[in-house]
Amino acid sequence: MDALLLMILTFFGYIIMYKVYGKFISKIIFKINKHAKVPSEEFEDGIDYVPTKKEVIFGHHFASIAGTGPIVGPAIAIIWGWLPAILWVFIGSLFIGAIHDFGTLIISMRNKGKSISEFTAKYINPRTKIFFFIIIFLELWIVISIFGLVIAVIFSMYPTSVLPVWFQIPIAMYLGVLIYKKGKNFALWSVIAVALMYITIVIGYYLPINMPSFLGMPATGVWTILLLIYAFIASVLPVTALLQPRDYINAYQLTIAMLLLVLGVIFSSIFGGMDLVAPAMQATPAQAPPLLPFLFITIACGAISGFHSLVSSGTSSKQVKNEGDSVFVGIGSMLTEGALATLVIIAVAAGIGLGYTNSAGQTLTGTGAWTARYASWAAAQGLTSKIAAFVDGAANMISSLGIPRGIAVGIMGVFVASFAGTTLDTATRIQRYVVSELCVDMKINIFKNRYFSTAVVVLTAMLLAFLSGADGKGALKLWPLFGAVNQTLAALALVVATIYLKGRGGLKWLATGIPAVFMIVITLWAAILNQTGFSDQNNILLQIINVVIIILVALIVIEGFVAFLNTTEQHEEPVSVGG
């Protein structure tokens, strides 16, 4: 029952803190004003700036930030025990994540809805704009490699998930044709598509697909190549062909999955005898990086993720109806993501104890089940075992609802793979934009060609994937790097927010300043430790990326500090009273 207790405590904690700390951040630190004029009103043009219901914005915002991140991170970090993981998720998401997401949303709203890269130029200096592009470039590069590996790993562990995941493509494409071209009934066909998707999961259970190794490449390597080819093709198609229908179908999947997980925790705790089997804490597991600082790098989304600052200053800030609504959007989404991460923690700390069958055919339960996956960092093929821990753990919990275990495994495996799959497409598109921006500035014009730049994006990602080993172990090497880049971005955003708050007077800036310093310290610390690790392994590419991260963090510290000292209290921005 301790798992159930954990979930109830955390959820209640979130609800209470949403009201208490949420009020503190919004009313006292950022002094939101329900009557202040917002960009959606002031620049309303029916195109970019459109006042929108907060629930709709929440839906978009949350779907953009939730995905594979809050699943993979906790699934790895549980190796240090459930207590540190849950404490970091809970405290981090409240005191760092929430104020980070909310802060960037509000600052963007108070700056005509401009993106964070632009108001960073305003609050620090114009040089810092390029930091964003470099950080995003690195982040997307790593994301495309890792998420490709994540899906490959799921395919190799759960051959029953192969068919349904690939089937999503024709289902989504046909749905797109029906809805966009033929104008069929939206609600009806969406539901049919989602139902069809779950049917294919059942079919997949009876038709597992195994990939043989090819030319000395492990099966995961073959899958990775196929997936990156998919990324290429998908990202050059018009958005109505595949991406847009896929994306909104995922929204249904996300809701259903979260619902199933919550119910699963309740039912399996009460009727299934589920208990926490992970240790409360183990600071130095075998071959693993130390808990400090790596816990904070491994769990990014779910606690604090720099990527969210882009989402906050993206469409959300241009659509929020008034500053009051931004609390629900900014803080609400972050805490909901924290809730999702909590559910993942429970799955890998308790759900897994309900047992699974390993590749040798043995059925493991209880603590033994947990240890087999988490005995050491790279145990059981690295990332593979960690993700498997989630899929198995979650499937166990859900099967207590009456769903056959094999199908439940399919549902969860497909869930993770769908989101990762959409990310492959979208990350490639954004990276294409980033690459051509960076190269056009340097007058390398061949990148204007869509196919060329996409090829470059996909090939570099493939390179990174294969240089790290194109398997679960390799992916595990890349994950802390991904975390470090993401947290660097978070640090930058928090520094900007701190400077903004300093300009508003008093000591409000401490609310973001302390988190900023914390993020800077752990990122640097982790990067330095990574550096020694990578140089020991003689991995040059990873070392280079790591060094770039260290330099960026240093530059952010210097530029930010200088700007901070130069910021004096300004008069409160005259709040123009709008409608």
Partner 1 sequence: MKYFFKKILKQISEKSKLFNEVARSKAMELSEQELSELEHTFAILTFGAFVGLPSPPGQITLDLLPESEKEIMLLLQKTDTAHEPLSVLASLFQVD
Partner 2 sequence: MKNNPQYVFFIGKGGTGKSTVSALTALKLSHEQKILLVSMDPAHNQSDIFQTTLSDKPTEINKNLLVIEINTEKWIKNYLHEIEDSVRRNYLYLSAFNLEKNFNIIKNSPGLEEYALLLAFNKVREIYSTKDHIIFDMPPTALTTRFFSLPPLSLLWNNHLIKLRDEIIKKKELITKIKFNKKEYESDKVLKKLQQQQSFYTDVKNIFTDINTTSINLVLNPDKLSMEESKRIIEKFREINIQTDNIIINKSVDESLSTAIKEKFRDIKSKIFPLSKTPLIGIESLKSYLLNNNL
**Which residues bind to partner 2, rule: CB under 8 A?**
179-180, 183, 186
3-state class (DSSP) for residue 435: helix
* Closest to partner 1 by CB, 319 or 342: 319
Segment (H or E) for 356: strand 356-357
In the bound complex, what is the minimum distance in angstroms from residue 492's beta carbon to partner 2?
35
Contact 508, 111 (CB under 8 A): no
Q: Which does 245 bind (CB under 5 to 8 A by kind): partner 2, partner 1, none?
A: partner 1
Q: Which does 422 bind (CB under 5 to 8 A by kind): partner 2, partner 1, none?
A: partner 1
Instruction: Indicate the residue type of 480.
Output: P
> What are the CA-CA distances from residue 480 to residues 231, 288, 386 (Å)?
23, 11, 14
Instruction: Please list, in sequence order, all residues whose beta carbon lies within 8 angstroms of the beta carbon of residue 98, skipping any fewer than 6 positions away.
Output: 21, 22, 25, 330, 331, 334, 335
**Which positions from 311 through 340 interact with partner 1, judged by CB under 8 A?**
311-316
- Residue selected from 388, 434, 527, 552 as contacting partner 1 according to rule CB under 8 A: 434
* Closest to partner 1 by CB, 252 or 377: 252
Alpha-carbon gap, residue 17 to 40, rounded angstroms: 28
* Closest to partner 1 by CB, 418 or 539: 418
**Would you tell me how many other CB atoms lie within 10 Å of the CB of residue 223?**
22
- Residue selected from 423, 487, 498, 530 as contacting partner 1 according to rule CB under 8 A: 423
Q: Which does 112 bind (CB under 5 to 8 A by kind): partner 1, partner 2, none?
A: partner 1
Residue 427 within binding range of partner 1, rule CB under 8 A: yes
* Closest to partner 2 by CB, 21 or 180: 180
Using the contact rule CB under 8 A, the part of the chain among 114-122, 352-360, 381-389, 542-550 near partner 1 is: 114-122
Closest to 78 (Cα-Cα) out of 276, 337, 362:
276
Residue 69 within binding range of partner 1, rule CB under 8 A: yes
Alpha-carbon gap, residue 175 to 180, rounded angstroms: 8
Q: Which does 183 bind (CB under 5 to 8 A by kind): partner 2, partner 1, none?
A: partner 2
Contact 226, 465 (CB under 8 A): no
Cis peptide before 293 (omega within 30 of 0): yes
Q: Which does 45 bind (CB under 5 to 8 A by kind): partner 2, partner 1, none?
A: partner 1
Residue 227 within binding range of partner 1, rule CB under 8 A: no
Contact 238, 164 (CB under 8 A): no
Which residue's entry shows tokens 């993106």? 115
- Residue selected from 26, 161, 336, 422 as contacting partner 1 according to rule CB under 8 A: 422
Residue 116 within binding range of partner 1, rule CB under 8 A: yes
* Closest to partner 1 by CB, 85 or 311: 311
Instruction: Indicate the residue type of 181.
Output: K
In the bound complex, what is the minimum distance in angstroms from residue 186's beta carbon to partner 2?
6
* Closest to partner 2 by CB, 186 or 561: 186
The pair of structure tokens assigned to 85 is 């993981």
Q: Which does 560 bind (CB under 5 to 8 A by kind): partner 1, partner 2, none?
A: none
The CA-to-CA distance between both ends of the chain, in Å, stands at: 51
Cβ burial 304-326 (10 Å sphere, 16+ → b, else e): bbbbbbbbbbbbbbbbbbbbbbb
In the bound complex, what is the minimum distance in angstroms from residue 52's beta carbon to partner 2?
11
In SS3 terms, 137-166 reads as: HHHHHHHHHHHHHHHHHHHHHCHHHHHHHH
**Which positions from 90 through 109 interact with partner 1, judged by CB under 8 A?**
108
Residue 239 within binding range of partner 1, rule CB under 8 A: yes
Phi, psi dihedral angles at 371 (to 5 degrees): -65, -35
Binding positions for partner 1, rule: CB under 8 A: 39, 43, 45, 47-49, 52-53, 55-56, 59-61, 63-69, 108, 112-118, 129, 132-133, 136, 140, 143, 179-180, 186-187, 190, 239-240, 243-245, 247-248, 250-252, 255, 301, 305, 307-308, 310-316, 419, 422-423, 426-427, 429-430, 433-434
